Amino acid sequence: MTWLDPFAGLLALAALLPPLVALYFLKLRRKDRTISSTLLWRTATADLRANTPFQRLRFSILLMLQLLVLALLAFALAQPEVSGGARAARHALLVDRSLSMQTKDAGADATRFAEAIEQAHERVAALHGGGFWFGQTPAIMVVSFASTAEVLTGFTDGRAQVDAAIGAIEPTDASTRLADAIALVRAALTPVNPDDPNAAAPDEIVIEVFSDGRIDDIASIALRPEERVLFHPIGKAATSNTAVAAVGVARDPKQPADVKTLARLSHFDTTSRTVDVELLVNGRVRSVLPEPIEIPAQSDDPLLGILPGEIEIAFPPLLLPDGGVIEVRIVESDALKDDDLGAVVAVPPQPLRILLVGGEGFIIRSALESLGPRELMEMTTEEFEAATRADPASLQSFDVIVLHGALPATAPTARYLVFGGGEGISGVEAYGEKSDAFAVGSRPDHPLMRFVSLDELFVHSHQAVAATERGEVIVDGSEGPLVLTITAPGTQVVLVTFDPLDSNWPFQRGFLNFVANSVQWLATFSRPVSDAPFKPGDVVSVMVGAAAIPVSILHPSGEEITVTSGSDGIASVGPLMRTGVWTVKWSGGDRRIAVASRDLMESRVNAVESLEFADETIAGRTSGGLSRSALWPWVLLAAVTLLIVEWWWYLRQV
C-alpha cells in the first residue's frame, strides 16, 4: 500500500479530532420542558455530569461512530493505493513472439505465445481498472519482439486500440533480441530536441516483458534510472526439447549424381531420449533410419554452461538428378514442434560455363560443344595469362577451364581439364617424354571412367610424370601414368598426359564419354550442392526476369501471398518469419526457399524465473495482483455510510 498524500490525512485528523472530543466535554444547554414525572431525573443528572468539563466521559456509541467517520475521512484524504507493481503514467508492454514461445508445455492448453497474449490483455484490463474508482489510466505502448522489434501502437490511453494491437501480434520462428524493443520504447520517450536545456526530464516508465526469458542479448542491456521492469514469466522451467539443429547435403565425388544427407540432432534434458528420424524429398518419405537414434543428455560445462546432448546421423545416398527439397524430421513430437524439422534445397543441375584455352583443331571443341553448355568461351594462352593478371576472380565464374597444348605460366585456383602434359603442375613431377604407350590398368569405379573403354587406346607420345601425395593415378600406361587427378586447396585438376591428337582416342566412343565425365566431375566442385538455408526474419531477393509482374509466395502452411516485382525484375520476398519451405512462383518459373532456425538458444525451451540484465536482476512475477487500485473512493463511501448510521442512531436516541 502506498499513500499519495499522507500529510493531508494526518493534518485533517489533527485538526478535527480534538474539537470533536472537546464537544463532549462541554455542558449542553438544554431548554426547559414540562414533564409529567421525575422518573427520568436520574438519567438527566448523569447526563449533566457527563457534560461537565473535566469529568470522565461516558461510553457513547455516537462518539465512536463520529470518531470512526473522522478517521475514514482522514484516511481518504491521504489517498491510499494498493498495487503489486510500480505506478507510472506510462507502461510499455513488450510481447515475445520468438521460436521458443511456440512451445506447448506439459499440461498446457495453448502455446506460450497464446498465454502471453492472454496475459497482456488481462494486464491492460487491470491497468484500466474501473475509471474513477481506480485513479488515472496510464498511457500504454505495445511492442512485439523477436530477432527484430515492431511497434504495434504508440502510447495511448485507449483500451480498444491497445487490445487490437495485442491481438494483431503474430508468432514467428525467429531468435530473441530485446535490445531493439527497449530502443523503440526509449525513442518514444525522447524529446524532439534532447539537447535543449529546457527539455523536460524523462518520465518514469514501467517496461513489462511477457516472455519465457530465453533472450540472447539480455546480459548486454543496461536499464536507465527512470526505467522499471516487470517480468511476466511464461512457461515451465522443466520443459525438455529435441531439435534438428542442422541439415546438410554432399555429393559423392565418385558418383556426383548421388546426394548424401547429413543431420545433427540436439537434445535439452537431463536424461537421454530415443527418437525415430526420417528423410523426405519433395514432401515424400524416401528413407527412414533402420534403428531409433538415442540422443545423449545435456551436460554442464564449467566454462561454457549447459551444452545440449548431440549426435550426427547420415542417410544413405539418394539419386537426385533434378535436385529437390530435402527434409529431415523427428517422428515423435515434443514440446516445440517447429524445430523438429530441418530442410535444405538441393541445387538442380545447371548448364555449364566452360573456358577453352589454347585449343588447336576442332576435336576437343566439338567434344565440349556436344555437352550443350550454356557458354563455351575460347582464349589463347596469351589472352588467358592477360586475364589472369588483370582479374583472376573473373575466371572463377567458369565451371571448368580446359587447357589444350601449352600450359600458362600462372593459373588461378579453379577446376581444370588439362590435355597434353603436366610440366609445371603442382602435384606431379615431370621427367621427360615417353612414346608408343598403351593402357595397362585403370580405376573402373572412378566417375571419370564411367562407360569408358581403353582396350584399343594407343598413345604415340606423352609426358612422363610421377604423382606426388596430391595426385592420384586413374589410368596407368605401359610407360607411366596417362590420366591423373590432382587435388589442391581451391583447385581440382584432371590431367591427361598426352594430346588426344597424338593418339587414336578421338576415334573411339570412350573419348566423348571421358570428356563428359571429366567436365561433370570437376563441375561438382564448383557448384554448391544446395542453397544455404535462410534464417527466420531474412528477406530474399528473387530474380524473376521481368518488371512489375505478379509474384506469388506460398507459405509453408499453404497460405498464398501475392506481391509485385520491382522495376529491375527482382522480387523481394520477406521477411520470412516461419521455418519450413517457401515457394516463390511467377510466370517464368519458381524457386523454393528453405528457412531454418540455427539458434540453439531457442530450442532450449526451459523457461527462466528472472531476467539477468547487465546491472540488475528482475525477478518474475505473475500478472495477478499487479493492478493498482485507489482505495480512497471506497473509504469515502464507507465514511458516508457510517455517517448515515450515526444520524440514524442519533435520531433513535432523541
Query: What pLDDT digit, counting tens, does each position of 9-35 carry?
Result: 566 666 666 666 555 555 454 566 676
Do 322 and 281 share a structural domain?
Answer: yes
Give the residue from 342, 396, 399, 343 showing the smallest Cα distance to 368.
Answer: 399
What is the pTM for the complete model shown?
0.64
**Does residue 196 lie within any of the structural domains?**
no
Is the domain of 150 the same as that of 98? yes
For residue 222 the three cell numbers come to: 543496461
Confidence label for 613 from pLDDT (cuts 50, 70 and 90): very high
Same domain, yes or no: 379 and 510: yes
Q: Looking at the predicted structure, is the pLDDT value of residue 420 above 70?
A: yes
Vertex 615, ends 610 and 617: CA angle to 5°?
A: 15
d(CA 281, CA 287): 9
Which one is predicted more confidently, 424 or 465? Answer: 465
pLDDT at 457: 92
The CA-atom distances, in angstroms, between 341 and each of 156, 271, 279, 283, 475 are 41, 22, 10, 12, 45
Q: What is the mean pLDDT of residues 109-135?
A: 80
Cα first-last separation, the chain: 41
Which amino acid does the sequence have at 347?
V
The Cα 630–Cα 397 span in angstroms is: 73
Bridge-based pairing of strands 400-404 and 428-442 is unpaired
pLDDT band at 324 (very low <50, low <70, confident <90, very high): confident
Biggest CA–CA distance in the chain, Å, is 161
Q: How many domains is the chain built from?
A: 5
Q: Are residues 587 and 611 in the same domain?
A: no
Using an 8 Å Cβ cutoff, are 483 and 495 in contact? yes
Shared domain check, 515 and 373? yes
Tell me what percent of the residues of the chain surpass a pLDDT of 90.
27
Judge contact between 123 and 623, C-beta under 8 A.
yes
Whether residue 144 is found in the same domain as residue 179 = yes
pLDDT at 166: 96
Name the pLDDT band for 290 (thresholds 50, 70, 90).
confident
| Rounded Cα distance, 279 and 249, in Å | 12
pLDDT at 480 over 70: yes
Mean predicted confidence (pLDDT) in 202-222: 89
Q: CA dist 253 to 349, 350, 400, 481, 521, Å?
A: 15, 17, 15, 21, 7
Residue 388 sits in a domain whose CATH number is 3.40.50.880
User: What sign has the CA pseudo-torsion 184, 189, 195, 201?
Assistant: negative
Laid out side by side, the sheet with 530-531 consists of 284-288, 277-281, 324-330, 341-346, 530-531
Residues β-bridged to residue 429? 466
Share of the chain above pLDDT 70, in %: 79
> Which residues, in sequence order, are CB contacts of 177 under 8 Å at separation 6+?
145, 146, 147, 148, 149, 215, 216, 217
Q: How far apart are CA 94 and CA 144, in angstroms?
A: 6
CB 115 within 8 A of CB 109: no
Task: Write the CATH number for 315.
Answer: 2.60.40.10
Grade residue 624 by pLDDT with cuts at 50, 70 and 90. Answer: very low
CA atoms within 13 A on the CB side of 69: 17
- The answer to whether residues 186 and 123 belong to one domain is yes
Domain hosting residue 315, numbered range: 241-349
What does the alpha-carbon distance between residue 201 and residue 193 come to, in Å, rounded to a whole number?
12
**Final residue belonging to a domain, choices 526, 555, 572:** 526
Same domain, 520 and 551: no
Q: Residue 466 domain-assigned?
A: yes
Q: Which of 7-16, 136-145, 178-187, 380-389 has the lowest mean pLDDT?
A: 7-16
Q: Are residues 508 and 380 in the same domain?
A: yes
Instruction: Give the mean pLDDT of 322-344.
Output: 87
Q: In angstroms, rounded to a whole number, what is the distance separating the alpha carbons of residues 373 and 535? A: 34
pLDDT in tens, 392-419: 777 877 889 999 876 777 777 888 999 9
Which of 382-396, 436-450, 586-600, 635-649 shows the highest mean pLDDT? 436-450
Given 471, 492, 526, the domain boundary residue is: 526
